[in-house]
Amino acid sequence: AQSVTQPDIHITVSEGASLELRCNYSYGATPYLFWYVQSPGQGLQLLLKYFSGDTLVQGIKGFEAEFKRSQSSFNLRKPSVHWSDAAEYFCAVVLGGDYKLSFGAGTTVTVRA
Amino acid sequence: DAGVTQSPTHLIKTRGQQVTLRCSPKSGHDTVSWYQQALGQGPQFIFQYYEEEERQRGNFPDRFSGHQFPNYSSELNVNALLLGDSALYLCASSLHPGTSAQETQYFGPGTRLLVL
């Protein structure tokens, strides 16, 4: 079955430490890949996207993600987190020519001082 | 550059009532998608509108219907509300199908619906 999996429900990280959020997908073809962030009570903000080309993608707010076809993964990273990075992060995919985004269940990130 | 806007921000209804939520797309976008996000879950696709027609629909009952106007704004209507319809309803806009990067959707702040 087609699915998007975010294995980590909740991650706690110290301010200034690095962060990595995992995302795996299960689709017959390589989909287009996205990471969104949602602050409490807010809508979704697009962090970055991958359609094709360079497998290391740079996004806003210092985030980057790496696409690995062999592992069907699109993990999100940030070298040094800030307290303002505390939020919920969603990985999402869409198949080319399709119209709907399919989301993972999300990973909640807590940043401790 | 105006982003995606939604109204109202919050809404309280009782079971059996009907509700209408509104969305204006980002400037330059002509396609609107609606998502339902239950508490603690990822958003679920409801449907997408382009050229005033429903283009694709997710696994939602017919109680959920929509409309798109000539100015590309959209409404989501939910009839016969159930307690389980309580959620954050998100609108997303994008470029029309067939254009480059059509798949990139930009989200509004959402409407939080509580059904009592």
CA distances from B116 to A52, A70, A95, B21 (A): 46, 48, 37, 17
Write out chain A's pLDDT in tens, 113 residues: 678 999 999 999 999 999 999 999 988 787 889 999 999 878 899 999 998 888 999 999 999 999 999 999 999 999 999 999 999 999 999 876 677 899 999 999 999 99
Q: What is the distance between the alpha carbons of residues B85 and B77, in angstroms, rounded to a whole number?
A: 12
Judged by CB atoms closer than 8 Å, whether chains meet at B42 and A106 is answered as yes
- CB B43 to CB A43 under 8 A? no
CATH number of B5-115: 2.60.40.10
**Under CATH, domain A3-112 is a member of which superfamily?**
Immunoglobulins (2.60.40.10)
Q: With DSSP H G I counted as helix, E B as strand and the rest as coil, what are the percentages for chain A, rounded to 5?
A: 10, 50, 40
Q: pLDDT at position A3, please?
A: 87
For an interface test with B, give the residue of A51, A98, A100 to mutate (most B CBs within 10 A).
A100
